[in-house]
Every structure is written in C-alpha cells, then in structure tokens.
Amino acid sequence: VTQIPRLMQGSRVNVGIVLAQLGVLGLWLVLFRTFAGFRQEVSGLAPAAARYAGFSSRRALWVALLVSGGAAGLAGALEVAGPIGQLTPYVPAGYGFAAIIVAFVGRLHPVGVVFSALLMSMFYIGGELAQSRLGLPKSLTGVFQGLLLFNLLACDTLMSNRLKWTRLLPAAVKGAY
C-alpha cells in the first residue's frame, strides 16, 4: 500500500492539498502574468481576434485540454493514493460532474475554483452526515448541487439579458392610442 504522507494524524488531509495549492498558484501566475496566459485568454474569448493577432486558437484549445486533463488525472491520483492508498471499489465516482459545477461557481478563475471546491466539499460532507445521522437519501447532495448550478446560471441569464416589463392593455384602450 502506497500512501501520500498525511499533514495531520487522524485526518484525511495529506500533502495533496499543498500540491493543489501550488498548482493553483502556478496556474494563476501563468494565466494572469505571462504572455502565454494572455494568448490563451484571447484565443478562448475571441478566436477571430486571436487569429488576427497571429495566435492559434486551435493550439490554445489543445493546451487548455491537455493542462486540464493532466490536472484532473493528478487530482484522481492524489485522491486514490492519499486517504486510501490503493484503488478500491469504494473510491467515490462522479467527481468529473462535480468539477463542472465547481468551475462554473468559481467563475472559471483559479482562485475562485478553490473557494468553490470548498463549498462543494461542504455539500458532500454535509450530504454524508445527513445520510448517516438523519437518514436522508444520498441523492439530496446532487439536488443541492443542481440547485446551486441552476440558480447561478439563472442569475447569469437574468443579468446579461435585460427584461422589459410591459403592461397588457385591453383592446378598447389600445384603439384610443
């Protein structure tokens, strides 16, 4: 059994959290303090402008896919080698779907994703506690995650699309105008 060293005895917190923080710091530095990060951002937000500037939007897409895939693989390896030390059938599945919600709630920003991940971990832990102590179904955690994502997307939609409230007038009044 190969385990990553724990930071505190009696808990599941291990060196993986330090690696994750270093990864977030490194990603933030690259994205917001280097020309490569600027090129990546422009290529993602405005592919036509990126092509005009001489950037390859296809290359930026592949870089984003490879970096995010590598980060996801590293996170999975840390999850397996960290608290458990080996791959078992009891390793939780579905982190990929939770990661989508984490990314949206974190507003696709490296530092925002850290706080969003903490929020989602509270949902998971709270769901496990509610299941064991109150007898609530485990799917309740998924319901809360879905509500969080739905409300976030609804707020984005309402903020980006201005709604106009109009009053319907009776047909007799319409003719007078």
Concatenated DSSP letters of 28-63 = HHHHHHSHHHHHHHHHHH-HHHHHHHT--HHHHHHH
> pLDDT at residue 3 above 60?
yes
**What angle (nearest 5°) sits at the alpha carbon of residue 75, between those of residues 46 and 1?**
165
The model's confidence at residue 89, banded by pLDDT at 50, 70 and 90, is: confident
Structure tokens at 132: 């064991």
Report the pLDDT averaged over residues 21-33.
97
Q: Whole-model pTM?
A: 0.80
Report the pLDDT averaged over residues 8-24.
90
Report the pLDDT averaged over residues 146-175.
81
Residue ranges covered by each domain of the chain: 1-88, 92-163
Lowest mean pLDDT among 64-68, 106-110, 140-144, 149-153: 140-144
Report the pLDDT averaged over residues 16-34.
96
Report the pLDDT averaged over residues 52-80.
93
CB-based contact 108:99 (threshold 8 Å): no
Highest mean predicted confidence (pLDDT) among 7-21, 99-113, 156-170? 99-113
At 108, is the secondary structure helix, strand, or coil?
Answer: coil
